[in-house]
């Protein structure tokens, strides 16, 4: 396993594995026994960075979520897991009532909602302190200063380690960071967005915004990361596009309709053959070894699936292979 530092403050920064494990479906689509086996294998391989949310996975059960955090808490207790494993969770998108959703009825990012959500996550995970806490989705009903102030207070009180943000427009991320710095408070240091070798279109309206898909790492966000690479880290969710790179029954869909969809997939296949690796492994290696490194966040429903992703950590793309991938264009080779 390889590792990198997240966070810029010497007092709060952490060393984590360059591959993060997503626990979204643990306790719902993935039963606890299987989840434990996946978690054990991940840790055995040197993995130290696990991701969840307080709303995972409400859509399976009609609940408010919390199933994933419960499984992780049970696993921590049964294995005696301590500070060596960094668990990141999110708040703001848990439905306020069972049977509703995060679009029409989210818990939100008010100070009171944040306090209540943090208490619930700590209880389910069985911890006194959350290693990483993300603002999961935007809350247009709450002033940024209120959210930023509460997040910062939680860090200063010792309830939270590092702060992150997900599914926000880039300008809101930077405005929130500016508010925090002006107030002398800890700011967002981790950004969690969908990002992969094949870029998702951001112009299509989404359930969260009529202006486009604010959950995808677009040019504005990637430019921010490049400019603030000493302070910000991108954690990329769905880096393997839910299996669409390798499964014919998982089409890319309208979000990847860039006109011609041939050049970059062809480059992936060529590099995978040249490297003696799978297409998925090449995608993960491309992200990990990028000029501005990315931490891929991978899910797994079996140990075998996880092992394929773990092998990508040791895959070193040559300069020629990376150039082949970087220079491929949708409209041609």
- Select from 224, 118, 133, 108 the least CA-distant residue to 175: 224
> 44 near 76, Cβ under 8 Å?
no
Q: 38-71 as b/e, with b when 16 or more CB fall inside 10 Å? A: bbebbbebebbbbbbbbbbbbeeeebbbbbbbbb
Phi, psi dihedrals of residue 63, rounded to the nearest 5°: -95, -165
Q: What is the DSSP string of 248-274?
A: TTS---GGG--S--SHHHHHHHHHHHH
- Select from 206, 230, 207 the least CA-distant residue to 218: 206
> 164 near 190, Cβ under 8 Å?
yes
| Spatial distance between the Cα atoms of 42 and 79, rounded to a whole number of angstroms | 13
Catalytic member of 3, 42, 56, 102? 56
| Spatial distance between the Cα atoms of 52 and 55, rounded to a whole number of angstroms | 9
Which positions ≥6 away from 178 have C-beta within 8 Å? none
| Spatial distance between the Cα atoms of 159 and 242, rounded to a whole number of angstroms | 33
Q: Where are the alpha helices (DSSP H) in the chain?
A: 32-44, 58-61, 67-79, 111-125, 144-157, 170-182, 219-227, 263-275, 279-288, 303-311, 319-327
Which positions ≥6 away from 223 have C-beta within 8 Å? none
Q: Name the DSSP letter for residue 201.
A: P
134 is catalytic: no
Enzyme catalytic residues: 56
């Amino acid at each position: 396993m390889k590792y990198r530092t997240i966070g810029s403050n010497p007092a709060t920064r952490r060393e984590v594995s360059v591959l993060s494990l997503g626990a979204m479906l643990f306790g719902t689509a993935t039963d606890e026994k299987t989840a434990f086996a996946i978690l054990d294998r991940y840790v055995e391989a040197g993995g130290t960075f696990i991701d969840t949310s307080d709303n995972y996975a409400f859509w399976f059960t009609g609940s408010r979520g919390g199933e994933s955090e419960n499984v992780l808490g049970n696993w921590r207790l049964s294995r005696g897991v301590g500070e060596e494993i960094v668990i990141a969770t999110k708040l703001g998108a848990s439905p306020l009532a069972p049977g509703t959703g995060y679009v029409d009825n989210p818990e939100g990012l008010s100070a009171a909602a944040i306090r209540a959500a943090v208490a619930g996550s700590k209880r389910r995970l069985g911890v006194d302190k959350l290693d990483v806490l993300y603002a999961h989705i935007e809350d247009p009903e709450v002033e940024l200063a209120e959210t930023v102030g509460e997040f910062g207070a939680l860090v200063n009180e010792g309830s939270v380690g590092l702060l992150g943000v997900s599914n926000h427009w880039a300008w809101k991320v930077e405005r929130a960071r500016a508010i925090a710095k002006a107030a002398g408070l800890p700011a967002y240091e981790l950004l969690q967005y969908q990002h992969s070798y094949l870029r998702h279109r951001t112009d299509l309206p989404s359930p969260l915004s009529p202006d486009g898909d604010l959950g995808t790492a677009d040019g504005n966000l990637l430019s921010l990361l490049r400019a603030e690479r000493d302070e910000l880290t991108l954690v990329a969710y769905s880096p393997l596009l839910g299996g669409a790179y390798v499964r014919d029954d998982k089409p890319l869909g309208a979000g990847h309709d860039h006109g011609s969809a041939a050049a970059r997939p062809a480059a992936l296949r060529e590099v995978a053959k040249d490297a003696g690796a799978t297409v998925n492994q090449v995608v993960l290696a491309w992200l990990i070894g990028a000029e501005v490194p990315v931490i891929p966040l991978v899910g797994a429903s079996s140990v075998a699936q996880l092992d394929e992703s773990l092998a990508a950590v040791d895959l070193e793309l040559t300069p020629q292979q990376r150039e082949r991938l970087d220079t491929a264009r949708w409209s041609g080779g």
